[in-house]
Structure 1
Amino acid sequence: MSKLVADQADGLRRLLAPKPTRVVAVAGMGQGAGGTTAAMNLGVALVQQGKNVLLLDEHCPKEGSACEVWAIDPLGSLADVANHRLTLDGAEVKAGCGVHVLPAPPGVAPDTTDPRALWPDGVVIVDAAFDAEGRLSPLARGADDLLLVLKPHPASITSAYAGIKNLHYAHGLKQLRFLINGVVDVDAAQKIMNNLANAGSRYLALSLQPAGLVRFDPRLPDAWRLKQTIAEAFPASAAAVDFRRLADDMGRWPWRAAQPLLAA
């Protein structure tokens, strides 16, 4: 067999090989930052791309959680699945947008639970909740990527930077991505992303990777009243376009080495 044919055969095998499940933890940096909103919209955008998406809702059953916004009521939780009380199919529920949702309140499921074993094909999004000390759950710590969501306001940026420092010291964080949400002035948001990335590198020796921005859309309350995300209710809106761009970019994020992003 010639080298060209061998290279083509190897390339075809890689193309047809099953893709590993990617786990992305999304966390809002402060009240109203929009972490859950981002997690839900990202899930919708990925489904629209043909991805198989499971959202693990660490905020359920609180007001504003994915389960509450989508008005869905799963029959079980991640703990039920991990402890073999229910199958995943029997515990989760599929929202109208196509995202599968499973409650995953922190501190209930075993710390060793790996969502990749439950969802072997597609993307798992952890809508992450911080504990009282600003730390992540073992589930979120084990994600391939951590995406922090913040607003483009001085108070939000200050709070986000303090939270990033806390994550760095609590978990040995070396790299994360961040998303600016609710942007009105795109140029100003770009400056914020550059300044935050530089501050992380200079003062924390931490790689802060901008994941992009999501523009403000006044129709967001209308979408919530419809029990939908902006990506579902108004797919042509600027925010929906930005979430689809984020979902597309995510497919090109480099894979980490064979270890969790965050240390325990």
Structure 2
Amino acid sequence: MSDQAEKLRKLVVDLNGGPYATGSLKPEKRARVITVTSGKGGVGKTNITVNLAIALSRLGLRVVILDVDFGLANIDLLFGITPKYTLLDLIREEKSIFEVLTDGPNNIKFLSGGSGVEELISLDRRKLRKFVSNISLLDKLYDVILIDTGAGLSQNVMSFIMAADEIILVTTPEPTSITDAYALVKMVSRRDRRKVIRVLVNKAETVREAEEVAKKLTVVSEKFLSLKLNKLGYILYDEIIIKSVKQQKPFCLSYPRSQAARNVFALAEALMYDSKGAEVELGAKGFIQRVLSFFGA
């Protein structure tokens, strides 16, 4: 771990403007924090997170994934990579932020959540400050932080949703999926109507079906909740997605010319060039501080 320790020392010097500062890391830089979530399980949320990370990386962005689906953390399974350490190792001060980040494909990094929430909120103030300081380093190292949450409306999930700058809400054409997605939007609207929510329709049979689902959700949300949703796009049903999961390799890598991969690359471009995405308020540090405040820590 000597190389990682050296990176950490150099980073601290850079942030403090020391004699070896390169000027490439700006103290005020904040990463764009995007939570990927869904009202119910089985909609492909985690698979989308993994492949979207690859697509954003292909566009030249530095991307890290935080897997905070503490019950069913499976980013590592989709990558086919077993992480040595998890968020718990960082919380317990046994490893640094550099050591707990696992290398993924295309220069992506990911951090497995493990079962860290309960332990996180019970930390004393000194350990909390150190933890926040560690997480805040992600602002300097990455452009985009994708937060893969659990599905549903639990307190844990809603805390990570409300703490992010932006939300990607994944739904499918199934009536139960649309209903649960609307329930999540309703929960968000009660807490903050200014939250940027982008609707992504997955597993649609046709473009028309995807557009109808997105329209239905946006119209109902604006009419009854006074909350305007943004349509991010869609991923059409593609059998190669199932194949790639079995192979434990993201389809954007194993089948880059497939329909699903083309859809994801289009989503990444739409996300990158959306003007609203440029309004980064919190960054990694603000995100984790807000999460902790929701838990009363």
Q: TM-score, normalised by structure 1?
A: 0.81
Map 1:173-212 onto structure 2 (within 5 A): 173-175=193-195, 176-212=197-233
Cα gap change, 1:172 to 1:79, in 2 (>3 Å): farther
Mapped contact 1:57–1:66 kept (Cα < 8 A): yes
The DSSP-based 3-state class of the residue aligned with 1:24 is strand
**How much does 1:103 deviate?**
1.2
The counterpart of 1:248, out of the listed 269, 274, 282, is: 269
Mapped contact 1:47–1:53 kept (Cα < 8 A): yes
Map 1:66-145 onto structure 2 (within 5 A): 66-81=75-90, 84-104=93-113, 105=115, 107=117, 108-109=119-120, 113=132, 115-120=135-140, 121-130=142-151, 133=154, 136=157, 138-145=159-166
**How much does 1:17 deviate?**
9.1
Mapped contact 1:40–1:66 kept (Cα < 8 A): yes
Mapped contact 1:134–1:167 kept (Cα < 8 A): no
Mapped contact 1:130–1:137 kept (Cα < 8 A): no
Cα gap change, 1:131 to 1:185, in 2 (>3 Å): closer
- Asked if 1:58 is matched to 2:68, the reply is yes
**How much does 1:252 deviate?**
2.1
The DSSP-based 3-state class of the residue aligned with 1:165 is helix
- Asked if 1:166 is matched to 2:176, the reply is no
The unaligned stretches of length 5 or more in structure 1 are: 1-15
CA RMSD, Structure 1 to Structure 2 (Å): 2.8
**How much does 1:62 deviate?**
3.0
Q: TM-score, normalised by structure 2?
A: 0.73
**How much does 1:128 deviate?**
1.0
Corresponding position of 1:10: none
The counterpart of 2:53, out of the listed 31, 43, 54, is: 43
The DSSP-based 3-state class of the residue aligned with 2:229 is strand
CA distance in 2, matches of 1:247, 1:85: 35
CA distance in 2, matches of 1:25, 1:106: 18
Count of residue pairs the alignment pairs up: 247
CA distance in 2, matches of 1:220, 1:131: 23
Query: Partner letter of residue 216 of structure 2?
Result: N
Cα gap change, 1:61 to 1:100, in 2 (>3 Å): farther
Deviations 1:41-74 (A, max 9, x none): 10111122222111101126737x1112223222
Structure showing the higher helix proportion among its residues: 2
CA distance in 1, matches of 2:90, 2:201: 34
Corresponding position of 2:125: none
Cα gap change, 1:45 to 1:152, in 2 (>3 Å): same
- Asked if 1:22 is matched to 2:32, the reply is yes
The DSSP-based 3-state class of the residue aligned with 1:109 is helix
CA distance in 2, matches of 1:232, 1:125: 18
Per chain length, whose mean CA-contact separation is higher, i.e. which structure has more relative contact order (CA < 8 Å, sep 6+)? 2
Mapped contact 1:60–1:68 kept (Cα < 8 A): no
Cα gap change, 1:162 to 1:132, in 2 (>3 Å): closer
Query: Partner letter of residue 34 of structure 1?
Result: G
**How much does 1:256 deviate?**
3.5
Query: Partner letter of residue 69 of structure 1?
Result: L
Corresponding position of 1:12: none
**How much does 1:245 deviate?**
1.0
Moved more, 239-248 or 249-258: 249-258
Corresponding position of 1:4: none
Q: Percent identity?
A: 21
Mapped contact 2:88–2:116 kept (Cα < 8 A): no
